Amino acid sequence: MADEKEPGQEGGGEKILSQSEVDTLLNAVKDGQVDTESAAPASSQAQAYDFRKQRKLVRARLPGLKIIHDRFQRSFRQTMSGLVRKVVAVETLQTEMYRYGEWTSGLPVPSCMSIVRLSPLIGQSIVSLEPTFLYSLIDNIFGGGRAGAEGKRADGDFTTIELKMIQKLIGYFVSDLEKAWSTVFELNFEFVRSETNPEYVSIVAPSDVVIVTDFGISFEDVSSKIQLVMPLFALDPIKQLLSDHTFVEQSQPNPNWKIWITDSLSESKLNLKVDLGEAELSMREVLSLKKGDSIQLDRYVVDPLPLEVEGVEKYLVRMGISSGQQAVQIESLITESGIPGADD
């Protein structure tokens, strides 16, 4: 005969409250004898987080980009100064990550967006200009002023000349950008087309992450910015190059390089050649030449002879004999001006 279970007990040794115990507990809670609220620690505070905005500074993750952009801004500053014939200031403002849809949602209509193909990487990038800056730039190049730029229309339609100037400006931009990238990776930028409506430009999905770099540019009373947008996935094959701290350190001038280069050059082998002279003969005279004949050259015996170093005339010498072998004695140095002995 099986043993009867005691009230409040169940198989397995687990404690189960009886009905009377449950009633007693409820009465205690009702009378306030049991504290049912536990205060959260004072130090823990809930903070709002926007999952749509995952901006992260790229400088810490990809330090190589900062070096590339610093080189680019110096080169592009010279290019723009020569283009408008005025002092132009170019600086890197910031480099951040955005969702592509988030970035395009903040663009005005019309915009000036140029699509540039990345080669040999996969994907395309965008160079975004502010239309007001473009109008001011064109007016300055063609002799106008700021007053003419302020009166420009805002319907988003560019004239043929303006489209040509956009393509030319983007050409200057990507050319200097290629030079800045060349020390890290041979990246080529190829202009594809220009658009004024962000809805017509879709280089990646709206949820994909892009790297947006703002370059500030100003001259006289004109101030604007140029944005370079590159998909993050396009840089995946070279991400190690851009995040390698060794590259950052080695990108600075090494004071020992001059010594190493000098030592290496001092051990280089050079070809020397002495030009004894020239003579002009007819075909009949050449065919009649025989052993023992003498050919008169265009130089006298007392004239110094030029000595070439790797094809460049460097010294004036005289023929002689040294230790039983034909030799030359250096008389003077031929300078870049062509005047012998000017640097003696």
Task: Select the more confidently predicted residue: 154 or 161.
Answer: 161
- Domain span at residue 313 reads 269-289+297-333
Angle made by CA atoms 106, 108, 109, in degrees to the nearest 5: 140
Token pair belonging to 221: 């009373």
Last residue of some domain: 188, 221, 250?
A: 250
pLDDT for position 76: 93
In a domain, 53, yes or no: no
Tell me the pLDDT tens digit for each residue of 12-66. 445 677 778 878 888 777 776 766 665 555 555 666 655 444 455 455 578 888 8
Tell me the backbone φ, ψ of residue 279, rounded to 5 degrees: -145, 150
Distance from C-alpha of 22 to C-alpha of 101, rounded to nearest angstrom: 57
Sheet holding 222-231, edge to edge: 89-99, 209-219, 222-231, 124-129, 112-119, 188-195
Inter-axis angle of helices 160-181 and 131-141, to 10 degrees? Answer: 100
Q: Write out the H or E segment, with its range, that includes residue 331.
A: strand 325-333
Quote the pTM value: 0.56
| CA pair distance 246, 83, nearest whole angstrom | 36
Q: Looking at the 3D structure of the chain, how many domains does it have? A: 2
Q: Which helix (H) or strand (E) holds 100?
A: helix 100-105
Q: What are phi and psi of 114, to 5 degrees?
A: -110, 125
Q: In angstroms, rounded to a whole number, what is the distance separating the alpha carbons of residues 159 and 213?
A: 28
Same domain, 239 and 273: no
173 domain residue, yes or no: yes
- Give the model confidence (pLDDT) of 263-278 as tens digits: 788 888 888 888 888 8
Sign of the dihedral defined by the CA atoms of residues 182, 186, 191, 194, in that order = negative
Q: Classify residue 4: in a domain, yes or no.
A: no
One domain for residues 285 and 227: no
Residue 159 has which token pair?
Answer: 């004239």
The yes-or-no verdict on residue 2 having pLDDT over 80 is: no
Q: Which two tokens stand for residue 294?
A: 């003498």
Distance CA 91, CA 2 (A): 90
Question: Does residue 204 share a domain with residue 120?
Answer: yes
Choice among 185-189, 249-253, 256-260 with the minimum mean pLDDT: 249-253
The 10 Å Cβ neighbour count of residue 71 is 19
Q: What pLDDT shows up at residue 229?
A: 95
Least confident of 49-63, 104-118, 184-198, 284-298: 49-63
Say whether both 213 and 304 belong to one domain.
no
Number of Cα atoms under 13 Å in the Cβ half of residue 70: 10
**pLDDT tens digits for range 101-156:** 999 998 888 888 999 999 999 899 999 998 888 888 888 887 765 554 555 555 55
Same-domain pairing of 70 and 206:
yes
DSSP letter assigned to residue 48: -
Report the interhelical angle of 63-84 vs 131-141 (nearest 10°). 40
Residues 68 and 185 in one domain: yes
Q: How far apart are the first and last CA of the chain?
A: 128
- Whether residue 255 is contained in a domain is answered as no
| pLDDT on residue 184 | 86
What percent helix, strand, coil does the chain show, rounded to 5? 35, 25, 40
